[in-house]
């Protein structure tokens, strides 16, 4: 099924206008710039989040999805990298609301908080370097199609936690995803699935992965070098609503090929069904029934239509007196 509300521009669009939060204040996006010598730019010593906000035309409201959970993970990533963020998760949610209000968005948007070693400095270390923080947003629709995806198992190996912390959303680590994605795209696939160093499934290049076998939803554990996905957690909640049994355990590569259903989940991909992996048809070759049920529930909840999950969404304009 499609997430069938009006979609915004794609992730490839260049951002050159609007209002950003940077150095503790709102400012025009074009003024939120850094030096060419910035540590984070030279060494990838930064961390970020990807958050979606969904426009609900019926409510005339923009809903930030799982805002608090994203900023809590952001603070955990920063802690691992010894980046000082001088705000609590709740304060960061509030600044994000203010930034979105200033942009007057009335469409789906993607929000990018970014914290990094901000000093113009050569030394390769983490301690004693000035940190910077920014948050900006861009209109965005579906990142990839939400059905019919063709994937391949990448020959690039997913970064291990003791190489670059995999549960932190580290800027430099996305070289790994970019290498895998680029190769997959040039070979005609929509997505790359990453194995860990031991040859077992970790996740997809920028999303977590579930397989369905014998009616059970199975995903890899948080110790499998994955990013601890917020959407993955949302899937557990929706699975409980739907009475689906879930299991966290290691997944072998060839279990992908014989699974009844495979889907990816993440802020960008949302919930996307995979129909083919390495030229093998998955299940019946179209989005399976459990994936479709989860997609329906997800797209209702993210736009604030599911009263059981109203706590997933933070209204941007509420109380603003429009």
- C-beta of 97 vs 232, nearer to ligand PLP: 232
Segment contacting ligand PLP by CB under 6 A, of 81-89, 246-254, 260-268, 313-321:
260-268
- Which of 267, 287, 291, 314 is in the footprint of ligand PLP by CB under 6 A? 267
Cα–Cα dist 227/229, whole Å: 6
Site residue total, ligand PLP (CB under 6 A): 14
* Closest separation in Å from C-beta 244 to ligand PLP: 18
- C-beta of 167 vs 213, nearer to ligand PLP: 167
In this structure, the strands spanning 216-219 and 208-213 are antiparallel
DSSP class of residue 164? S
- For residue 212, list its beta bridge partners: 217, 261
Structure tokens at 181: 């994605």
Segment contacting ligand PLP by CB under 6 A, of 26-34, 127-135, 265-273, 281-289:
265-273
Residue 230 as a binder of ligand PLP (CB under 6 A): the answer is yes
Count of other CB atoms within 10 angstroms of residue 152: 19
Cα–Cα dist 320/322, whole Å: 6
82 is catalytic: no
Query: 12: phi > 0 → left, psi -120 to 50 → alpha, else beta; which?
Result: alpha
Residue 191 as a binder of ligand PLP (CB under 6 A): the answer is no
Residue 207 as a binder of ligand PLP (CB under 6 A): the answer is yes
State the catalytic residue, choosing from 2, 79, 123, 169. Answer: 169
In this structure, the strands spanning 201-204 and 208-213 are unpaired
- Which of 173, 177, 46, 165 has the alpha carbon at shortest distance from 112? 46
- C-beta of 134 vs 317, nearer to ligand PLP: 134
Residues forming contacts to ligand PLP in the complex (CB under 6 A) are 50, 177, 203, 206-208, 227, 229-232, 266-268
Q: Which active-site residues does the annotation give?
A: 169
């Amino acid at each position: 099924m499609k997430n069938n509300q009006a979609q915004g521009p794609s992730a490839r669009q260049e951002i050159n206008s609007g209002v950003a939060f940077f150095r503790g204040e709102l400012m025009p996006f074009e003024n939120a710039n850094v030096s060419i010598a910035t540590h984070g730019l030279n060494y990838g010593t930064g961390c970020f989040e990807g958050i979606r906000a969904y426009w609900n035309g019926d409510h005339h409201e923009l809903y930030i999805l799982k805002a608090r959970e994203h900023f809590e993970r952001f603070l955990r990533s920063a802690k691992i990298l010894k980046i000082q963020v001088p705000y609590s998760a709740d304060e960061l949610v509030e600044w994000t609301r203010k930034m979105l209000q200033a942009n007057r968005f009335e469409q789906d948007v993607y929000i990018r908080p970014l914290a990094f070693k901000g000093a113009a400095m050569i030394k390769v270390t983490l301690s004693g370097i000035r940190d910077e923080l920014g948050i900006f947003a861009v209109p965005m629709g579906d990142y990839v199609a939400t059905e019919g995806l063709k994937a391949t198992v990448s020959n690039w190996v997913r970064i291990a936690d003791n190489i670059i912390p995999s549960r932190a959303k580290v800027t430099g680590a996305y070289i790994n995803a970019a290498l895998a994605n680029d190769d997959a795209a040039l070979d005609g696939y929509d997505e790359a699935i990453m194995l860990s160093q031991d040859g077992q499934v970790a996740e997809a290049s920028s999303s977590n992965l579930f397989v369905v076998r014998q009616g059970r939803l199975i995903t890899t554990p948080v110790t499998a070098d994955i990013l601890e996905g917020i959407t993955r957690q949302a899937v557990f909640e929706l699975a409980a609503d739907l009475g689906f049994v879930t299991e966290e355990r290691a997944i072998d590569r060839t279990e992908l090929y014989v699974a009844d259903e495979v889907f990816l989940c993440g802020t960008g991909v949302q919930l996307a069904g995979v129909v083919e992996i390495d030229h093998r048809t998955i299940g019946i070759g179209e989005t399976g029934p459990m994936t479709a049920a989860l997609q329906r529930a997800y797209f209702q909840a993210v736009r604030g239509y599911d009263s059981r999950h109203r706590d997933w969404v933070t209204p941007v304009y509420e109380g603003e007196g429009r």
